[in-house]
Amino acid sequence: MYRKTYVEIDCETLENNIKEIKEKYNQYKYYIGVVKNNAYGHGIECVKYMIKGGINYLAVSSLEEALKLRNIEKDIPILILEPISYEGIDIAIKNNLTITIDDKKYFDLLLKTKKNIKFHLKIDTGMNRFGLKNKEDVKYIVDNSNDNLYLEGIYTQLSKGIGTEFIREKNNFENITSLIDLNKIPIVHIERSLTLEQHNKLPYDNGIRLGIIMYGFNKKKYNLSWKRKLYNRLTLKKDNFVPSILNLKTILKFYTTVLEIKDVVSGEIVGYGDLYDTKKEIKIAILPYGFADFLFVNTNYVYINNKKYNIIANYMDVTSIIIDDDVKIGDKVEIFGDNISIRKASEIANQNVYKLLTSITNRVPRVYKYKKEIKEVEY
């Protein structure tokens, strides 16, 4: 690493998070680790620690992501959550990848080819993205799948985990699948990270998709607004609500280094277009990270030696902060970590955690720590 701007991933904590989830929610047979978009910004190289923790299936968004993952993990089953084009089918077969089917015509096309591939059937319960809404089409696909075009699983994406929205979507799933026997489907997975803790396991569910929760973000760490708290109190009586029993830890920290220090006199400016107009003499530090590294770069402040320093200018490749005499060239800078939590950074940036994490670009090296082992991965 030459630039000294990097993301640090605590893989032992990742492993322990998954072990705790499995211990507290041990009713499932399949624990599907969702690692789309470079494992939510953490880097797909950390999947081996997920597997150590007990993940026995992986899921990604696209065929391209699946192929990158297959180069790292040769044997674990991988589900592609988005339907892929017919042109990619042979590549998926060659790499032992499981596809998603959500269209009867597409199913018929594959059925005629007699290609040997596994698939999961996607149900649309209300989000109006991918998925079947017609129960007759679901029955047709289930009845006509075979040893070649093998139906391994069925799933949906729930938009809510509590209240009337959850009940509506659950009822939709049960209605759309009412003409088939869910107990005969090897894998049924309709739950995900942020619905896992909200209610008891559904009787026909034997799989759970774990995404953001693996990385240390679970329900009880949300700071709910008074409106949401009131809504929860009014609606939870309509659902089988279960309070959180997990104590998870976040695994990602983002650091850079003081590259240069400059003295700026009163009346000078900092940045493009007079971005910062100095009213008095100040000292600034130049940090080697910008919005090409982290889209939501303007999170107001950073920490150096456990002390807060304000950001005053952002560029594509660097960021300027006001400092004092305590700061030296080469000092380690926390963008977020022990002093600035990712939750706090997301609040300042007015973005949710998903967007914040996945906005860290692939030009930032990931450093993986596991016990005494340290591994650096550059993209």
Burial class of 80 by CB neighbour count within 10 A (0 to 12, 13 to 18, 19+): buried
Question: CB–CB of 320/286 below 8 Å?
Answer: yes
- 312: region left, alpha or beta (phi > 0 left; psi from -120 to 50 alpha): alpha
Residue 199: band (very low, low, confident or very high) from pLDDT cuts 50, 70, 90: confident
Supply the DSSP symbol for 294: B
Question: CB–CB of 260/329 below 8 Å?
Answer: yes
Mean pLDDT, residues 231-252 taken together: 69
**Cα–Cα distance measured from residue 358 to residue 41, given in angstroms and rounded to the nearest whole number:** 5
pLDDT of residue 360: 94
Give the closest residue to 171 by CA, choosing from 186, 156, 152. Answer: 156
**Alpha-carbon Rg for the chain in angstroms:** 24
pLDDT in tens, 115-141: 999 999 999 998 888 999 999 999 999
Domains and CATH numbers, the chain: 11-235 (3.20.20.10), 252-377 (2.40.37.10)
Residue 229 has pLDDT above 90, yes or no: no
Which range among 149-163, 224-238, 278-292, 298-312 shows the weakest confidence by mean pLDDT?
224-238
pTM for the model stands at 0.90
Residue 272: band (very low, low, confident or very high) from pLDDT cuts 50, 70, 90: confident
Q: In the numeric block, which tokens belong to residue 240?
A: 């089988």
pLDDT in tens, 211-222: 999 999 986 544
State the first-to-last Cα distance of the chain, in angstroms, to the nearest integer: 11
**Cα–Cα distance measured from residue 37 to residue 35, given in angstroms and rounded to the nearest whole number:** 7
